[in-house]
Homo-oligomer: A and B are copies of this chain.
């Protein structure tokens, strides 16, 4: 799981996905020679910081987002959130500005405003992310940013055996979106692909627990088309995947942006449940990740 640890450690909050893009391009160029199918790598200014990997003749696309939650330095010692971090006073943040590397701590006041404590002023607009403490036991992984470096990790594992399909690494998911709408348009116009799987991490709830299998989401704030989700559940059952059905009323993902895009996408969110989401201690069960990868393998063949 050394790759997952490396992915979690890349500083790339929404809007500053460039370091993750560079890490991924380097990794993919180095390893894809050994993959079953060598993908075409599509990137550049017309995709902003997103990456598309094209394998064979694609029918289905996997989306995984590169960005993480974090903080932007404002004026004085004020911090603004990027996405919705669940943070407590004393948490350590890291980053870098014109004066050098930063390791500071957060203070939350009674009005839930965030501030940094550091020996010097930090440049306006500097982004800060959780200091990553990656922990692994026999069954569990605990770290900041499993959301969604685990989605990227799973997609890269699926890539090893993929013959036909698209894998897309997206931006801005945590901060209201901004890349999936143009990516959806691009993908649909170019390859007529309109089936999408959202490889992301969800919440453990009273109905979805760690270790009980990969979660297939029947809905969150958005509701995917039932006939598509039913096909996915059918394929999971037929292939003896260990899965749980999630039903949520709030929360969203790249699926929501896809739903409102200018292309007629079907989509379904599939990923492991996580405890303590958006904290430095996101926690998932390794078995759920294995089932996730198995499910994506069969879905990319059978959908």
Contacts and interface: CB of A to CB of B under 8 A. Distances in A.
Number of copies of this chain in the oligomer? Answer: 3
Nearest to A16: B226
B47 A226 contact: no
A247 B82 CA distance: 12
B125 A218 contact: yes
Interface string A216-251: 001101111111010000000000000001011100
Contact of A207 (B81, B124, B181, B194): B124
B46 A245 contact: no
B262 A181 contact: yes
A109 interface: no
A222 to B, nearest CB: 7
A224 B15 contact: yes
Given A18-B226, A207-B124, A219 B262 contact: no
A218 B46 contact: no
Given A76-B206, A207-B74, A261-B182, A48 B222 contact: no
A177 to B, nearest CB: 6
